[in-house]
Structure 1
Amino acid sequence: MKPIHTIEEVIAALDEIIEVSQVNNDPLGYFAALYRKVTIKVKEGIAEGFFDNGPRMERLDVIFASRYIDAYHAYQKSKPVTLSWMKAFELSKKFWPIVLQHLLIGMNAHINLDLGIAAAEVMKGKDIQKLKGDFDKINEILSSLVHQVETDLSEIWPTLRKILKWTGKVDDFLINFSMEIARDGAWDFAVQLSNTPENDQAALIHSRDESVAKIGNLITNPGFIAGTIFKIIRLGERGTVAQKIEDLKN
């Protein structure tokens, strides 16, 4: 796959993943469909002057997105990927995870690991603190998707809405996961990586990857009560994987 240089090329690459996933009824297309929405929001934000530095934000977006896109294609070719992405990709082979779990585990790998690496890379040789404002803005867009997705899926699958009225356990699970993201500190990792000598960065990234993969266990193994609720939701999900991907894309 040729290198990506613009947001338009990011969107084109995501469209390709989505198309292949729909043809193959592959749950990996769920995250790609959601991420396409994120990328379009970032593109619109740059055009509207939402970010402090538009050109820098586009570079960050390209580096950030490329980590996911490269990992996806590497996985398809049975090449090594980070532990965090391996956990996310392997979930696609199982029947019971609901759409929301597929999305959350992708967000876990991408926000908790990839975002910090991309931030350090785009600010290489510069003061990373100057990126803090825009980092917060893009993280805000990403994190807000947790509840947006819950709402969207409730519209698509009424069973989820009924269960959410019956119990707050799913909401608690989402809130706890969001808190875990905040506690683990994507920005702190970006700063630490930026201030680490280049020869030591690979070891730091590997250590971070191991920690992020463990956070993924909150999603793949949420406990008996939440797990039971998710199974009920899974049985209530309507349509093929391809149709669900289309619902998320639109």
Structure 2
Amino acid sequence: MPQSEQITPHVQNGVDTGTGPARPGVDAVLARMRALDAVLPPGDGVAVFNRVYLAVTEEVDRRIDTGRFPDADAAVTLDVRFAERYLDAVDPVCDDGRPPACWRPLLQFRRHPGVRPLQFALAGVNAHIGHDLALAVVDACRGLGCEPADLEDEFDRVGDLLGSLEERVREELMPGPDLLQIADPLTHLLGSWSLERARDATWTAARALWALRRLPDVAEEFTQRLDTAVGFAGRMMLTPLPGLVRCAPAR
């Protein structure tokens, strides 16, 4: 399906028609993540990312339930649209065509013995934030009938939680001191990517896509170029590093 059609599944002339199926809540996307976790081998690249993303989505759910998001409806909508893009890209049950370019490197290298779990996890973070989050903001704005500026608080709060996700990834999956010398190429490779810069670029991309919503051809081209660029960065992050012995993370 063309990317622009993915952005506007039930929209005509910039107006949400409301004719599509009802969107599931956070519980539904959590159930899909848990189902993936149950069936994927622990060392699978998608499984590595799925575990850390599941943890952060559970935290978002807890914060919504405890009133940490002032606009709970907006937070749920953004969180669900965001998670669905990842799930639809990697879940074989929902596979109805070629996945977005940003997810292809992870899907291609998910079982490569020369790619470490840290690379898998951060490549997933790169794809999900660099591409999926921008489109999810547009999806949410259409569904809620609002502007991106109206979702900026929710975007920032979700972004803060994703920052904790990156910290968790690095703490749990970074090789220990005994592997420091051998891991120097890994440290150099992944040190060139910044979550904060990716978030800033994503917010700019979301605003640009919203401004282009009545120019579908231009929006389509912009989205494809964004997808390609994020996919290229992900491919670099997944460069196999010979000599590293990959150990499957504990479940």
Pairwise TM-score range, normalised by the shorter structure: 0.7 to 0.9
Q: Secondary structure at 2:192's aligned position in 1?
A: helix
Please, which of 137, 152, 177 is the counterpart of residue 157 of structure 2?
137
CA gap of 1:93–1:131, structure 2 versus 1, over 3 A, is: same
Note if 1:114 corresponds to 2:132: yes
Q: Aligned residues, how many?
A: 227
Q: Identify which range, 177-186 or 109-118, moves more after superposition.
A: 177-186
Q: Distance in 2 between matches of 1:122 and 1:14?
A: 21
Note if 1:208 corresponds to 2:235: no
Deviation at residue 126 of structure 1 after TM alignment: 1.9
Deviation at residue 106 of structure 1 after TM alignment: 0.8
Deviation at residue 179 of structure 1 after TM alignment: 6.0
Unaligned runs of 5+ in 1: none
Aligned pairs (5 A) from 1:84-123? 84-123=102-141
Please, what is the CA RMSD of the aligned residues? 2.8
The equivalent residue for 1:178 is: 194
The equivalent residue for 1:11 is: 30
CA contact (8 A) 2:69 2:75 kept: yes
CA gap of 1:3–1:97, structure 2 versus 1, over 3 A, is: farther
CA contact (8 A) 1:18 1:245 kept: no
Q: Distance in 1 between matches of 2:164 and 2:49?
A: 15
Structure 1 runs of 4+ with >3 Å offset = 74-78, 163-175, 179-184
Q: TM-score, normalised by structure 2?
A: 0.79
Q: In structure 1, give the amino acid aligned to 2:178.
A: K
Q: In structure 2, give the amino acid aligned to 1:6.
A: G
Q: TM-score, normalised by structure 1?
A: 0.79
Q: Secondary structure at 2:103's aligned position in 1?
A: helix
Deviation at residue 101 of structure 1 after TM alignment: 0.6
Note if 1:188 corresponds to 2:208: no
Unaligned runs of 5+ in 2: 1-20
Aligned pairs (5 A) from 1:1-40? 5-22=24-41, 26-40=44-58
CA contact (8 A) 2:45 2:106 kept: no
Q: In structure 1, give the amino acid aligned to 2:30.
A: I
CA contact (8 A) 2:105 2:231 kept: yes
Q: Secondary structure at 1:56's aligned position in 2?
A: helix
Q: Distance in 2 between matches of 1:185 and 1:49?
A: 28
Whichever structure has more helix as a proportion of its residues is 1
CA contact (8 A) 1:84 1:109 kept: yes
Q: Percent identity?
A: 25
The equivalent residue for 2:90 is: 72
CA contact (8 A) 1:18 1:29 kept: yes
CA gap of 1:110–1:72, structure 2 versus 1, over 3 A, is: same
